[in-house]
Amino acid sequence: MEIFKNPNCRKIRGSHILDVVCAQCKCFIAKYQKVGETNFVKMYNDRIIEGCVDFSQYHGAIFCPNCGERIATRYVTKIDKQEAYRLVPSAFNKKRV
Ligand SMILES: [Zn+2]
């Protein structure tokens, strides 16, 4: 499976890295820089390091490339108007790297 580096990724100081995998088939979805210990409910586009889809383009939703399960849906955050993906809570597992 091809892994796409996200050219829009910025280094986030003080973040830790999470691997996000499909809950159903364990297929790799994305490597993400998470800030703080709050619930993991969304991924900002510019904190995604790499993933199973080309994050240089925006996608209406992210689907597992293996089983087709919907992992997240694109939206723009209300407060700071940032491009992000809202995660489907039951569709993924995360692991701190
Ligand atoms: Zn899957």
First to last CA, the chain: 20
Residues 6+ apart with CB under 8 A from 92: 20, 21, 22, 23, 29, 71, 72
Per-residue pLDDT of the chain (97 residues; tens, 9 = 90+): 899 999 999 999 999 999 999 999 999 999 999 999 999 999 999 999 999 999 999 999 999 999 999 999 999 999 999 999 999 999 999 999 9
Compute the distance from residue 69 Cα to the ligand 1 centre, in Å. 6
Output the pLDDT for position 1: 83
**Using CA of residue 60, residue 65, residue 71, residue 77, what is the dihedral sign?**
negative
pLDDT (tens digit, 9 = 90+) per residue, 39-66? 999 999 999 999 999 999 999 999 999 9
Domains of the chain: 4-96 (2.170.150)
Compute the distance from residue 79 Cα to the ligand 1 centre, in Å. 31
Compute the distance from residue 80 Cα to the ligand 1 centre, in Å. 31
Give the 3-state secondary structure percentages of the chain, helix then strand then coil, rounded to 5. 5, 45, 50
Compute the distance from residue 21 Cα to the ligand 1 centre, in Å. 8
